[in-house]
């Protein structure tokens, strides 16, 4: 079962950093090799080879998220051109389910990381705020899979959501105050009541790479 690229010591380091078990890492590595066609890095074009992803309305954002340098924990911002296996694992680690043995602090950190990932997905121009236009983009993309919906509806929905966010985050605003955008702190406030840990996770247990992915 050993793949030629994996080295035990490296794997252990990866496991420590990302929190996956070695079996999961092996599975993911196999998948990575499949996607990259045995290269060491993946580019955006490689994601086109996943047929099911075509039907996903937010396909562009998902692919984008993989290459977003902020998600890859690199100091710079912008988009990377290609990612290697370690980056791949880093992105995947955002979707790990919570473990029962986490303490409060770990849980909190975990939660913040997941929310930060989500935030980056909304904030496409990397300025640290989700403006109305960005929000509109997100909603339009979200509803783009539905051919019968007009763009108008998507926009109004985004507007409504923005106003709601403003009322939650800022509360009472003065007559000439302007709500510019949702910052990360506001974003956290909005998510206070909802358990992101239980909703944002993927089961990495049973993974059978399906042959028809090509």
Which residues within the stretch 9-28 sit at the binding site for another protein (CB under 8 A)? 28
Site size for another protein (CB under 8 A): 74
What is the per-residue binding string for another protein in 150-179, x denoting contact by CB under 8 A? --xx-xxx-xxxxxxxxxx-xxxxxxxxxx
Dist CA 180 CA 189 (whole Å): 16
Binding status of residue 107 toward another protein by CB under 8 A: no
Task: List Cβ<8 Å contacts ≥24 apart for 34-37.
Answer: 34/209, 34/213, 34/214
Interface segment toward another protein; rule CB under 8 A; list 2-10, 15-23, 30-38, 103-111: 30-38
Alpha-helix runs per DSSP H in the chain: 8-18, 22-36, 59-67, 85-93, 104-122, 132-142, 151-169, 184-190, 196-199
What is the per-residue binding string for another protein in 36-75, x denoting contact by CB under 8 A? -----------x--x-xx-xxxxx-xx-------------
- Specify which residues 182 forms β-bridges with: 130
Interface segment toward another protein; rule CB under 8 A; list 10-18, 79-87, 105-113, 147-155: 147-155
CA triplet 9, 31, 210: central angle to 5 degrees? 145
- Nearer to another protein by Cβ, of 11 and 132: the residue is 132
Interface segment toward another protein; rule CB under 8 A; list 14-22, 67-75, 79-87, 89-97: 89-97
- Nearer to another protein by Cβ, of 69 and 201: the residue is 201
Dist CA 137 CA 85 (whole Å): 30
- Nearer to another protein by Cβ, of 7 and 170: the residue is 170
Dist CA 9 CA 157 (whole Å): 50
């Amino acid at each position: 079962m050993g793949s030629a690229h994996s080295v035990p010591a490296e794997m252990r380091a990866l496991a420590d950093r990302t929190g996956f078990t070695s079996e999961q890492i092996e599975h993911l590595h196999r998948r990575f090799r499949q996607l990259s066609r045995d290269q060491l890095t993946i580019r955006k074009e490689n994601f086109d080879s996943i047929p099911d992803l075509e039907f996903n309305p937010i396909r562009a954002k998902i692919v984008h998220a993989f290459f977003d340098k902020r998600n890859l924990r690199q100091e710079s911002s912008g988009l990377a051109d290609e990612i290697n296996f370690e980056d791949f694992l880093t992105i995947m680690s955002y979707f790990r389910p919570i473990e029962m043995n986490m303490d409060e602090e770990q849980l909190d950190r975990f939660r913040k990381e997941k929310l930060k990932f989500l935030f980056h997905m909304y904030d496409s121009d990397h300025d640290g705020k989700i403006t109305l236009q960005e929000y509109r983009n997100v909603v339009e993309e979200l509803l783009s899979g539905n051919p019968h919906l007009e763009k108008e509806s998507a926009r109004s929905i985004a507007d409504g959501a923005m106003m709601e966010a403003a009322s939650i985050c800022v509360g009472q605003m003065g007559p000439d105050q302007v709500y510019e955008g949702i910052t990360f702190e506001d974003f956290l406030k909005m998510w206070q009541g909802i358990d992101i840990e239980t909703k944002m996770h993927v089961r990495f247990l049973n993974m059978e790479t399906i042959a028809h992915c090509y």
